[in-house]
Amino acid sequence: MDEVKVYVGLDVHKESIAIAFAQAHTRDEPHFVGTTRYSVISLTKALAKLGAPSELSLCYEAGPCGYGLVRALQERGYHCEVIAPSRVARQPADRVKTDRRDALLLARLHRAGELTAVVIPEPADEAIRDLVRARDDAASDQRRVKQRLKSFLLRHGHAYTGKRWGPKHELFLSKVKFEDPAQHIVFTEYRLAVRFATERVERLVQALHDQTASWRWMPVIKGLMTLRSIDFISALTIVAEIGDLRRFPHPRDLMSYLGLVPSEHSSGNSTRRGGLTKTGNTHVRRILIEAAWNYRLPARIGESLQPRLEGQPQRIIDIAWKAQLRLCHRFRRLRARGLHQNKTCAAIARELSGFIRTYAQSRA
């Protein structure tokens, strides 16, 4: 790319794009160009008045419109970045927000180099990520409809005390009867909703297996599955959401990205640390928090983990076993100190993310 002469900030919405620019190598205030409709053709016509594509550096905040615009601009020779909205510095006293001001702010900060760009996934990787999130949404819907059915039965004195959703539970449901026809209709509709939701989850899980069979990140997924409590869905979620784990220079960077580090508000001699920052990717953070709970048990290679170790290099197996020994010991030690189990799980999840980054580095 040639030397950048103009930095352009775009405030993108589904129907319009506000454009502002700042001249490079100067301290002049940015200028507002105007607003155009959401169209690559209209946008490139407006950008042509500012200079050649090689002389412009564009940016806009990540939002619901996705990555279609940045890919279209890059195909036309523009250098364009998608910015993390949470990292855009805004003045606390600034209580006026307009498209014009947002575009001017982006242009100013882009020229100063104070913006943080997000990683733009490949179209194939984004498609897998969409499928992973669709399965996650389907699983959430399944939990909701199951809870509705359980609540309805409990309210009418038909509570089940055994293991739910197995053959015995289905036999129990088939024998439940209501005297009022209206209540029986409600009961039947809830049962059908549970069945449809379960079938939907199963279809999406099978689709994930089919679509990822030849995916370029499949070796990484199989490697992560050697870790305890990281099954296919968990490993797939981690890789689909984060992408190349090697883009984090240090494990601490991955921990911070996932929001697994404690917040802090220190000033002078006063040091105050709070709960987790909970920034970054919520999907992966939830997966790791749930996985951390399994390390409360002694270290062992069970029947569910043994098949996942077969065919993996010895160095990968060694990392997985080292992680299990350390995390199981640390879980017991933290609990023995009286630390709350939720805080213990957060600490274990933080260290587990470090081992995940170590594994990625071992493949480099």
The total domain count for the chain is: 3
Considering the domain architecture, whether residues 75 and 128 belong to the same structural domain is answered as no
Task: For 238-295, give the DSSP string.
Answer: HHHHH--GGGSSSHHHHHHHTT-SEEE--BTTB--EEEE---S-HHHHHHHHHHHGGG
Confidence band, pLDDT 50/70/90 cuts, at residue 364 = low
Considering the domain architecture, whether residues 17 and 144 belong to the same structural domain is answered as no
Considering the domain architecture, whether residues 98 and 165 belong to the same structural domain is answered as no
- Calculated CA dihedral for residues 331, 336, 342, 347, nearest 10 degrees: -40
For β-strands 273-276 and 262-264, DSSP reports them as antiparallel
Query: Stretch 161-180: mean pLDDT, rounded?
Result: 93
pLDDT in tens, 26-53: 999 999 999 999 999 999 999 999 999 9
Is pLDDT at 81 greater than 90 in this prediction?
yes
pLDDT in tens, 300-358: 999 999 999 999 999 999 999 999 999 999 999 999 999 999 999 999 999 999 999 98
Considering the domain architecture, whether residues 194 and 226 belong to the same structural domain is answered as no
Considering the domain architecture, whether residues 303 and 341 belong to the same structural domain is answered as yes
Among residues 34, 78, 36, 84, the alpha carbon closest in space to that of 62 is found at: 84
pLDDT in tens, 143-166: 999 999 999 999 999 999 889 999
How distant, in Å, are the alpha carbons of 84, 226, 242 from that of 280? 10, 25, 10
Considering the domain architecture, whether residues 222 and 334 belong to the same structural domain is answered as yes
Residues in CB range of 261: below 8 A, 6 or more apart:
252, 255, 276, 277, 350
Is pLDDT at 112 greater than 70 in this prediction?
yes
Considering the domain architecture, whether residues 227 and 323 belong to the same structural domain is answered as yes
Considering the domain architecture, whether residues 245 and 162 belong to the same structural domain is answered as no
Considering the domain architecture, whether residues 251 and 353 belong to the same structural domain is answered as yes
Is pLDDT at 1 greater than 60 in this prediction?
no
Considering the domain architecture, whether residues 22 and 98 belong to the same structural domain is answered as yes
CATH number at residue 18: 3.30.420.40
What is the side-by-side order of every strand in the sheet holding 31-37?
A: 31-37, 16-23, 6-12, 56-61, 79-83
Query: According to the model, what pLDDT value does residue 271 have?
Result: 82
Considering the domain architecture, whether residues 231 and 329 belong to the same structural domain is answered as yes
Q: How many residues does the chain have?
A: 364
Helix 232-242 vs helix 123-155: crossing angle, to nearest 10:
130
223 found inside a domain:
yes
Query: According to the model, what pLDDT value does residue 219 have?
Result: 92
Considering the domain architecture, whether residues 145 and 206 belong to the same structural domain is answered as yes
Q: Which of 49, 77, 112 is the last residue of a domain?
A: 112
The percent of the chain in helix, strand and coil, each rounded to the nearest 5, is: 55, 10, 35
Percent of the chain with pLDDT over 90: 86
Q: Which residues of 59-92 are buried (b: 16+ CB within 10 A; e: fewer)?
A: bbbbeeeebebbebbbeeebbbbbbeeeeeeeee
Is pLDDT at 259 greater than 80 in this prediction?
yes
Rounded Cα distance between 111 and 22, Å, is 7
Confidence band, pLDDT 50/70/90 cuts, at residue 63 = very high
* Mean residue pLDDT across the chain: 94
- Residue range of the domain that includes 307: 218-362
Query: According to the model, what pLDDT value does residue 214 have?
Result: 94
Rounded Cα distance between 54 and 77, Å, is 7
Rounded Cα distance between 80 and 72, Å, is 10
Three state DSSP letters for 126-178: HHHHHHHHHHHHHHHHHHHHHHHHHHHHHHCCCCCCCCCCCHHHHHHHHCCCC
Query: According to the model, what pLDDT value does residue 93 have?
Result: 86
Q: What is the pTM of this model?
A: 0.91
156 found inside a domain:
yes
Query: According to the model, what pLDDT value does residue 106 have?
Result: 97
Q: Which of 179, 211, 243 is the last residue of a domain?
A: 211
Q: Which residues of 245-257 are buried (b: 16+ CB within 10 A; e: fewer)?
A: beebeebeebbbb
Confidence band, pLDDT 50/70/90 cuts, at residue 363 = low
Q: Which of 165, 193, 211 is the last residue of a domain?
A: 211
Query: According to the model, what pLDDT value does residue 92 have?
Result: 85
331 found inside a domain:
yes
Write out the H or E segment, with its range, that includes residue 48: helix 40-48
Is pLDDT at 211 greater than 90 in this prediction?
yes
Query: According to the model, what pLDDT value does residue 2 have?
Result: 64
